[in-house]
Structure 1
Amino acid sequence: MIALLRYLLFPFSIIYGFAVWIRNRLYDLKLLKSKSFDVPTIVIGNLSVGGTGKSPMTEFVVTSLKDQYKTAILSRGYGRKTSGFYFVQTDSSANEVGDEPLQFKNKFPKLTVAVCEDRCTGIEKLRLDHELIILDDAYQHRKLSPLFNILLFDFLSFSHPMFVFPAGNFRDLLIEAKRAQIITITKCPIDLSIEERKRIENKIRHYNKRALITFSYIDYFEPIHSEGASVDIDKKDIILVTGIAKPQPLVDYIKKKANLIKHISFEDHHSFSESDVNQITKSYLSLASSNKILLTTEKDLQRLKPFKKQLADIELVYLPIGIQFHDPKQKALFEKMLHDTVSQSVNQP
């Protein structure tokens, strides 16, 4: 049924794809203006809709550079109920600033984190006080001409036709991969074969001949209680709550570590309501087990924080994630490219 629907929607994808192509060519021909800045800017983004691992990649890049340069993270703040420019504070709410920026601020409390839907406006407000600005999810923001582009593809996206909306899940054309200096395939199997890497590389090389191509997988860190203590989830009874784009890798991981009783899934960036929390609480309390926990993601935790009182009697635990590269040499080259590019820009006379 879904395949038939996608087939029926394909003519609309042609129209959408043509409109996107025209827009990008207008920027390439400088008929639409892109703005560059004297402060180094690194964009992390994708061509598809969500679920490619931008947050852990942003955290990886920030960790690599923040000790050398006064760094700011600038995000759109997807899902927030405000507009304009905001500085994110550790006690901000996800409704004010978005869940991912709030996660960044709590992970890097000394770092400047800001949100602004107009990235150029955001950079203008940050550039005088910072040496480097890292932009989360700004690859399609062609009004900005960044110093460096990091483009992410979810591994599973190479198993399906890469169509644009509405027949497919891509919001931009594959040809736009040509603007990236680094392309990382995320959420790969840990045992990804050399043959599979070469197949994906060959496909990407049709659109980008020069970018560094790297392969990474999700690294699940030690679970943490919402109050801060580490938690061992092995063999525990788990009720999992997610509001992320592609939760299946997490579900698979939990099944290997613990007894997954129930998965309560919401759409990506879902704004939890009191009714949702009541449903979650009811599911947890109805589980007859003395060895149970409610597990969620670090991003979802940011949106559950306003319901701290309702969840007070629940063992609420979140699972931080990061990225690991399949090839340590690729990781070293990735970081060297970042450092060399930023250093050259900062030290320009």
Structure 2
Amino acid sequence: MDLLRKLLFPFAIIYGGITSVRNYLYFINVFKRTSFTTPTIVVGNLSVGGTGKTPMVEYIIRLLKDQYKIATLSRGYKRKSEGFFLADADTTMEQIGDEPFQYHHKFNNISVAVDAKRVNGIENILKLREDTQAIVLDDAYQHLAVKGGFNILLTTYDEPYYSDYMLPTGNLRESRKGAKRADIIIVTKCPKDLSIDNQNTIVKKLNLKPGQLSFFTYIEFSKLAYTNCDSISVEELKKEDFILVAGIAKPQSFFDHLKGEKTTCLTFPDHHHFSTADIELILNKAKENKIITTEKDYVRLNGLIPSNKLYYLPIQTSFLNNSEEFDKTILDYVGSSTRNG
């Protein structure tokens, strides 16, 4: 922790107090909470960005989409539309934001909507898509106006919430006590060889309440990088010169997976909208070489860089163990739950 963050600790106490009072007012019904009979799965975190929400939402989509009519609801960060927006065949990334557009572009037969007001968003989904059987709420853990039917909390292996502090000293958006609302806590971005003993040590630190489940996941990188119409194996790619471009929170694992000793890595802010100057910089750095980016960045860079030069590397969430238990828990909730009604 740097000196400035330590000096800001009094403000972290104030911010923590404000969020705790706000949460308390929801729980004593001073602020209204709305529940829905349609199963609602909340995916979120206590910290600011970079915990792997997008691949976890995609994991849940894959798990449910062949059995149920599902929808995703996100805020649509940095989109150029306002209010509720339901994606259709003509929707652009600018209208709904990069993560929702990725879901929309990647998965057929699901509904993708955005709305900063989650209650309004759910109500509109259920009105316009009456056959919806489950809704996955992306990054809605702090949106207590919705009483989620099932809450999944993500925390990273390198920066677990139990070792973190409130903003601006740390990265927490609310107190560690917020973890008690979760039905499942997932430690993400783990080393693939994390031992059972180390997992058990972390579980003790999570201090689970009765009934809470915990799981451990890692990021699995695709063996192929893709363009709109072509692909190349990562093994072959590493024999060439290329540059890496990322505008996501905590891109280091992406860089570490691909970079060599002389690879140029260009980093931009999370959800960055690439300007003309940015594109010129990327092309000048790349010269005649390929440009490799993340899947989330690809939806923002596609069309701005020649398609034969721009590749993206997909990722997926994979469980270190007990994936069957996780799957069964989610499927049981969606299949039989009316407890959130």
Look up the equivalent residue of 1:30 and give its one-letter code: N
Q: Distance in 2 between matches of 1:19 and 1:347?
A: 30
**1:275 Cα shift?**
0.9
Match of 1:323 in 2: 317
Equivalent in 161, 168, 171 of residue 170 of structure 2:
168
Aligned to 1:102: 101
- 8 Å CA contact 1:90–1:102 kept in 2: the answer is no
Change (3 A) 1:243 1:185: same
Deviation at 1:161, TM superposition (A): 3.7
Q: Which runs of 5+ in 1 are unaligned?
A: none
- Counterpart of 1:86 in structure 2 is 85
Alignment pair present for 1:304 and 2:301: yes
Deviations 1:9-44 (A, max 9, x none): 000000000111111111122222110012111111
- 1:341 is displaced (CA, Å) by 1.1
| Larger CA deviation: 119-128 vs 318-327 | 119-128
**1:188 counterpart SS class:** coil
Change (3 A) 1:137 1:323: same
- CA deviations 1:154-185 (Å, max 9, x no partner) are 11113984101111111111111111111111
Query: Which stretch shows the higher mean deviation, 39-48 or 207-216?
Result: 207-216
CA contact (8 A) 2:149 2:339 kept: no
Q: Distance in 2 between matches of 1:77 and 1:159?
A: 25
State the distance in 2 between where 1:74 and 1:32 align: 22
Distance in 2 separating the partners of 1:267 and 1:173: 25
Question: What residue number does 1:240 align with?
Answer: 244
- Listed one character per residue, the Cα deviations across residues 255-305 of structure 1 (whole Å, up to 9, x for unaligned) are 3xx5652001001001111110111011111x6xxxx31100000011112
CA–CA separation in structure 2 for the residues paired with 1:39 and 1:159: 30
Q: Does 1:338 align with 2:340?
A: no
What is the rounded CA distance, in whole Å, between the counterparts of 2:239 and 2:170 in structure 1?
39
Q: 1:235 to 1:160 in 2, by over 3 A?
A: farther
* 1:89-108 Cα shifts (integer Å, max 9, x gaps): 45533221100000001110
Query: Does structure 2 conserve the Cα–Cα contact (< 8 Å) formed by 1:90 and 1:105?
Result: no
Letter in 1 for 2:222: F
Conserved 8 A contact 1:186-1:215: yes
Once residues 249 and 171 of structure 1 are traced to their aligned partners in structure 2, the CA distance between those partners, rounded to angstroms, is 23
The question of whether the paired residues in 1 share the 8 Å contact of 2:274 and 2:300 is answered with yes
Among the aligned pairs, what percent are the same residue?
43
Paired residue secondary structure (1:217): strand
Deviation (angstroms), 1:67: 1.3
The DSSP-based 3-state class of the residue aligned with 2:8 is helix
Per-residue CA distance 1:85-141 (angstroms, 9 max, x = gap): 111245533221100000001110321111111111111011233111111100000
